[in-house]
Amino acid sequence: AWFWNERFWLPHNVTWADLKNTEEATFPQAEDLYLAFPLAFCIFMVRLIFERFVAKPCAIALNIQANGPQIAPPNAILEKVFTAITKHPDEKRLEGLSKQLDWDVRSIQRWFRQRRNQEKPSTLTRFCESMWRFSFYLYVFTYGVRFLKKTPWLWNTRHCWYNYPYQPLTTDLHYYYILELSFYWSLMFSQFTDIKRKDFGIMFLHHLVCIFLITFSYVNNMARVGTLVLCLHDSADALLEAAKMANYAKFQKMCDLLFVMFAVVFITTRLGIFPLWVLNTTLFESWEIVGPYPSWWVFNLLLLLIQGLNCFWSYLIVKIACKAVSRGKVSKDDRSDIESSSDEEDSEPPGKNPHTATTTNGTSGTNGYLLTGSCSMDD
């Protein structure tokens, strides 16, 4: 009873009984959301089939090889240090290992880099993952646009609040919401087995906020404005995954072009349209038409948190773009875990530290990152 307190969830003088389904109208019900769990499992299974029977043949047709990184030569002492102590030994430990093994420090550094890179997935694996995400993002964004262009609240956001919360749930809206929620649940679980990234914590937070936001807005029937948020945030994701695929296939110019398109769409939608259009209606138009109440505050705080993540990712995208301008191509994303290849590292002068790349989502958001070398997006 305390969790479903009507004074928290609903506007003044509205009760749950008012939102029960009738023969005349259907409203969102909390129990509808249980459908997301079996559907999330189905999405995960579809992904496995898609990657195996669609994405992999496409990758092979593009001459993308399944070869992994160079394997570090077996060494019991270094392996023990790597697994039990540190994967990034400091200078003092390197000198101690050098004396113990009678190896030069450079060789030990190379061994540790090769050993770290051993855990990297192959380019084929990355391509298949990106092709799956590209296909899903393209489908769900296309569906969202086709659905929303028939709705009055796309053209006038005040319709998100007229007669709220007595707004009937349509079949298309229900399908759109459950599909998005199921996909985010599938990402929540698959990210523990997918390619690991340094922005894992941020992406985990992003997925949690998205799931909570979708669930929250469905239960208190803020689904109309929720569809605007979902479609707007899906707009750039397919471009990012397409740029990664172009990189893996070594289509340099296409990768650069797609990345520029992604950056423009991402920054325009997340830093321009989202605050000026969506936040404007959730904060000001809803205040004027419906008035604030407890769950209204929570909903807007979640949207502001999403906007904070948008600002963080936009900063990283601009940083990549500035590097691209100076180097003439997209080279590294500050989000990637993936280190330089062993061959590149071996060619470094002895006095230099190994290069590493770090990652930014991505995508929902933008959950992708750029590899070393030309335009290299690697989610």
Please spell the DSSP secondary structure of 196-252, one letter per residue: --TTHHHHHHHHHHHHHHHHHHHHTT-HHHHHHHHHHHHTTHHHHHHHHHHHHTT-H
178, HSE (Cβ side, Cα atoms, 13 Å):
21
Quick one: what percent of the chain has pLDDT higher than 70? 84
Domain ranges of the chain: 27-62+122-327, 76-119
Query: Could you tell me if 241 and 137 are in contact, meaning their C-beta atoms sit under 8 angstroms apart?
Result: yes
What average pLDDT score do residues 89-95 get? 90
At 194, the pLDDT band (50, 70, 90 cuts) reads confident
Threshold 0.85, pTM exceeds: no
Question: pLDDT tens, 287-300?
Answer: 999 999 999 999 99
Report the CATH architecture of 76-119: Orthogonal Bundle (1.10)
Question: pLDDT tens, 317-355?
Answer: 999 888 877 776 554 444 443 333 333 334 333 333 333
